[in-house]
Structure 1
């Protein structure tokens, strides 16, 4: 497990799937804001949930986020689109509603940076999020990510087009948190 003071990143377990599916996927409005693919009704059982643990081809690294105090599952995090030639990847995360607003997001972004830069030796991390997603933008900026552009009206979300922002961070600009030193 990769650990911070309050959270940890561990492998996705089969028992995580129904919880993540119920609280993150079945919330249509939230899922529509978090994924570029359209929401469709998918059962958590049967191996088709997007949270189902799968063998990786190296292009992604999926984690479950845990609250280190309680041991509870707090959400999911991932690096995706891992490009071993350019040594870059995209970062994403989603916390269960009960774990939002507690500072976990900023810590999870730092843990993903540690994994990407220190463990995997990547050169650059990037994230894309809706322009009105202040918690994610704030968490990324606290880790050193810099806004690099706006994709105007590029995301179809629940009946309207919304702007997305791109934030990036090269490895040599990442400043580990005090607790990571």
Structure 2
């Protein structure tokens, strides 16, 4: 398990999947805002859920997020789109409704940065989020991510186009932030 100050990132357990499916994916608005694809119903127990982990996949690494104090499942996190040639990847996460607004997201991003930079040897991590996602923007910037651009009207979400913000962090900037 990878540990932060409040959260642990561990392998996905089979009994995590129905909880994440029910509380994250089955919430149409949350999924529509996070996924970039139109929501569609998925049968409970389906092997098509995004929360099942393919242990052979080296491009998308998924974790379950747990509270270190109690071991409670808080959500999911991932490094996705890992590009070994350019040594870059994207960060993503989803927290259960009961875990939001408690500072867990900032710690999750911190642990994912450690994993990406130290364990995977990456040079760049990137986050894309909707421009109105103030919580994600705050936690990214607290971890040293820099706003690099806005993709205007690039995301179709619940009947309207929304802007996305692109944030990046380079390993040398992360090292400096970590030492301060």
Greater shift in the superposed pair: 63-72 or 51-60: 51-60
> Which residue is 1:95 aligned to?
95
Question: What is the number of equivalent residue pairs in this alignment?
Answer: 178
TM score, norm. by length of structure 2? 0.96
By how many angstroms is 1:69 displaced?
Answer: 1.3
Greater shift in the superposed pair: 97-106 or 46-55: 46-55
CA contact (8 A) 1:14 1:53 kept: no
**Cα-to-partner distance string for 1:53-110 (whole Å, 9 max, x where unaligned):** 2223311110000011111100000000000000000000010000000000000000
| Aligned match for 2:178, one of 173, 176, 179 | 176
Q: State yes or no: 1:57 paired with 2:57.
A: yes
What SS does structure 2 have at the residue aligned with 1:24? helix
Q: State yes or no: 1:33 paired with 2:33.
A: yes
**Cα-to-partner distance string for 1:151-173 (whole Å, 9 max, x where unaligned):** 00110000000000000000000
Cα separation, 1, equivalents of 2:127 and 2:139: 11
- Structure 1 runs of 4+ aligned residues shifted over 2 Å read 175-178
> In the superposition, relative to structure 1, how do residues 71 and 123 fare at CA in structure 2: closer, same or farther (>3 Å)?
same
By how many angstroms is 1:177 displaced?
Answer: 7.7
> Which residue is 1:109 aligned to?
109
Structure 1 runs not aligned, ≥5 long: none
Q: How well do the aligned residues superpose, as a CA RMSD in angstroms?
A: 1.1
Superposed, which structure 2 residues align to 1:11-26 within 5 Å?
11-26=11-26
By how many angstroms is 1:120 displaced?
Answer: 0.2
Cα separation, 1, equivalents of 2:179 and 2:39: 36
Cα separation, 2, equivalents of 1:31 and 1:74: 16
CA contact (8 A) 1:17 1:44 kept: no
TM score, norm. by length of structure 1? 0.96
What SS does structure 1 have at the residue aligned with 2:178? coil
> Which residue is 2:46 aligned to?
46
Structure 2 runs not aligned, ≥5 long: none
Cα separation, 2, equivalents of 1:130 and 1:81: 18
